[in-house]
Amino acid sequence: MPIQPLPSSLPPQDDSFLIEPRALLSDSHQNAAVILDTRPREAYAAGHIPGALPVSTYDYFVPDTTPSGMRDFANTAIALYRAAGITNAVPVIVYDDATGVRAARELWVLEYLGHPNVRLLHGGFSAWQAYGGPVDTHIPDTLASQWNAAIDNSGFIAAHEIANDLGRSDRVIVDVRDEAEHRGEDHLACCARRGHVPGAIWIYWTDFLEGGRFKSPQAIRELLLSRGIRESDELVPYCHRGARSANAYLAFRLAGFTRIRNYIGSWHEWSATPDLPLELGHRQNR
């Protein structure tokens, strides 16, 4: 279904982080970009976009969003990206099976490290195949780079900043995990405590998607407004490891919201920090 334009009274959508399969299929795009396949290795081995590299930071949690903790995470990610030959001079395109969480998190990480041109393949590998894109099993050679990352904190928020301003009137914390996780009824072995960040509203991350793609900007916007979120609010999505929340972060951008910061530490960090408060139960609206 084609994306319908937003009414002129609404802020313009930001779809600059998306690339459609038809655009990627052109030689000019493929030859001018580093393509990262963020799916599990077995999926990559079974077939991938020609030239794509199997690179993903999905399994690297961020247990500490203090400056030292983020520095450790950044150094790990930078080493991985340097090995893949990434530099600021070459665009990066990331993809997943569909418009999923792994590629969204990868895009967020690369932008956090200051890469100026990262895009997500809208619809992912499934859309690529449906459009007739070729599939390869060859693993291309890479030439390591000396990429000098420059941290961009504009889309980042740390646990202490959330905790210090709980109840802030212009900040909406959005829990995009499943309902059991939000209520505190899940059984994730790595989390010592259950529940959600106090005051967080619950919207499941897939509510922003349809058919493996983002819903229209207007549909996403109407959903957020229906939950009591205002155009001027700062939105802080979180989940378990900052991946589902990265997908929501992009959905909010697509809908025209401009004040958005992903809590990359998410519940994995929050639950492991005893002095951070929590709530149980269900909260759907502000």
* Tens of each residue's pLDDT in the chain, 286 residues: 333 444 434 456 789 999 999 999 986 666 689 999 999 999 999 999 999 999 999 999 999 999 999 999 999 999 999 999 999 999 999 999 999 999 999 999 999 999 999 999 999 999 999 999 999 999 999 999 999 999 999 999 999 999 999 989 999 999 999 999 999 998 888 888 999 999 999 999 999 999 999 999 999 999 999 999 999 999 999 999 999 999 999 999 999 999 999 999 999 999 999 999 999 998 888 8
Count Cα atoms within 13 angstroms, Cβ side, for 206: 6
Alpha-carbon distances of 18 from 9, 87, 103, 161, 257, rounded to whole Å: 23, 19, 11, 30, 16
- In angstroms, the CA 197 to CA 183 distance is 11
**Model pTM?**
0.93
- In angstroms, the CA 75 to CA 199 distance is 33
β 213-214/209-210 pair status: antiparallel
Which domains does the chain carry?
A: 18-154 (3.40.250.10), 155-270 (3.40.250.10)
Decide: 246 and 101 in contact? Cβ < 8 Å.
yes
* Tally: H helices and E strands in the chain: 11, 10
